[in-house]
Amino acid sequence: MSADGRTQAAALLASLSGSEPAGVWSAPGRANLIGEHTDYNEGFVLPFAIEHRTYAAVGMRQDGVLRVVSTLDRQPFSLPVADLAATFDGPSGRAVTSGAVPEWAAYPLGIAWAALAATGHAASDVTGLDIAIASDVPVGAGLSSSAAIEGATASALNDLWRLGLDGLEIAKLGRTAENEAVGAPTGIMDQVSSTLGREDAATFLDCRTLATESVDLGLAREGLALLVIDTQVKHAHSTGGYRERRESCEKGAAELGVPSLRDLSTDDLVRAQEQLDDVTFRRVRHIVTENQRVLDTVATLRASGPRAIGDLLVASHASMRDDFEISVAELDTAVEAALAAGAVGARMTGGGFGGAAIALVDADRVDVVAQAARDAFAAAGFRAPNTFTVTPSEGARRDA
């Protein structure tokens, strides 16, 4: 749909309100090149925006009502701007769990609520809007359709309500909407990547200071592509596993007397091994070495280009498999098959316990590597993976 997601959103708006949009805004999904589980340890991540985008076509209303509709759920949902605070103030996610707002609508409406709260505007300062959403970001596939819908909506409100927010502030609205309005306890990596992405570049984010730098990937110049191998495995215990890993990290930091694992370097690992139990030590070692690998990847990309980062990607995977223990057989198979078929590097990406691997491959070898992954899955008796390339692309923008 990517060529005409914009047209689809505009058509949906027309069928809803019979009017032309005041504008169309879009924001992309994202994938993470390296830096896994480092975000909540105040460390480093290196995600990039992808070409799959979510579009918001928006029309003005004179009655102070916000009406949202999506091609995913054609049932429009309306809420007066004046009711945003009463609906979303209070315990995280209450508007959704109480049934007051459908979960999907809490993303765009949560953005509107967060925007007024962050800028100090009163409901009476802003106009009502019809917001029609269309997307080609697959939902729940680890490519952050949530950050895409947040970024598209927030960019539209920023312009139409003249909020004057910059990209990082728009990303923060997304985090607030997702954490507070929807009730999903996620970090800010996805939103930063979606708002600040650039073509053929990744976004280096320091999750402690929220400082960002754009890092050229040079994939086009080097004839390289990024292949996603989606295992389509979703483990039931992924939420529990995620919480356990967070707790291990907090325990490790507490026992080592630092505010967060970000405050340790690889030089501290000898002491850590002496002081910690084996499992906690290995969790700590993953975070400490992964932070260093993100820094090394940024430096290597700048000094030598993308062909030189393969070993860092492979080391990241080994660390997640052996130390952090968040990989599964399907992810290991995907990585091994990609490397055996000549990938420059490969690793699982995302939270783990399923989801996708990403492989850096010569553009003219994409089909060969994808086929090798499918063959390896068939030989192991796994369900066939879904394979597709992702192209590092521009972040949130106004399209029309």
316 binds Mg ion (CB under 5 A): no
Query: Are 6 and 135 a contacting pair, CB within 8 Å?
Result: no
**DSSP state, 181?**
I
Query: Are 28 and 195 a contacting pair, CB within 8 Å?
Result: no
User: Burial code of 124-157, b = ≥16 C-beta within 10 A, e = fewer?
Assistant: eebebbbbbbbbbbeeebbbbbbbbbbbbbbbbb
142 binds ligand ADP (CB under 6 A): yes
Query: Are 117 and 109 a contacting pair, CB within 8 Å?
Result: no
318 binds ligand ADP (CB under 6 A): no
231 binds ligand ADP (CB under 6 A): no
144 binds Mg ion (CB under 5 A): yes
Distance separating alpha carbons of residues 263 and 265, to the nearest angstrom:
7
Q: Which is nearer to ligand ADP, 40 or 107 (CB)?
A: 107
139 binds ligand ADP (CB under 6 A): yes
Select from 68-76, 218-226, 257-265, 379-387 the region that touches ligand ADP (CB under 6 A): 68-76
77 binds ligand ADP (CB under 6 A): no
26, 32, 70, 393: residue in contact with ligand ADP (rule CB under 6 A):
70
149 binds ligand ADP (CB under 6 A): yes
28 binds ligand ADP (CB under 6 A): no
Nearest by Cα to 108 from 61, 145, 162, 62: 145
Catalytic residue among 39, 136, 190, 323: 190
140, 185, 240, 259: residue in contact with ligand ADP (rule CB under 6 A):
140
DSSP string computed for 77-109:
EEEEGGGHHHHHSSSTTHHHHTTSS-HHHHHHH
54 binds Mg ion (CB under 5 A): no
Question: What is the smallest separation between the CB atom of 44 and ligand ADP, expressed in angstroms?
Answer: 21
Select from 12-20, 69-77, 306-314, 329-337 the region that touches ligand ADP (CB under 6 A): 69-77
Distance separating alpha carbons of residues 11 and 57, to the nearest angstrom:
9
133 binds ligand ADP (CB under 6 A): yes
Query: Are 37 and 44 a contacting pair, CB within 8 Å?
Result: no
Task: Return the residue matching tokens 């429009």.
Answer: 76
Sort 305 into a burial class: Cβ within 10 Å, 0-12 / 13-18 / 19+. Answer: middle
Residue 135 contact among ligand ADP, Mg ion, none, beta carbon within 5 to 8 Å by kind: ligand ADP
Task: Decide if 190 is catalytic.
Answer: yes
Distance separating alpha carbons of residues 120 and 142, to the nearest angstrom:
33
19, 72, 122, 237: residue in contact with ligand ADP (rule CB under 6 A):
72
**Closest residue to Mg ion, Cβ-based?**
146
Q: Which residues bind ligand ADP (CB under 6 A)?
A: 54, 70, 72-73, 103-104, 107, 133, 135, 139-140, 142, 144-146, 149
Which residues are annotated as catalytic?
Answer: 190
Q: Which residues bind Mg ion (CB under 5 A)?
A: 144, 146
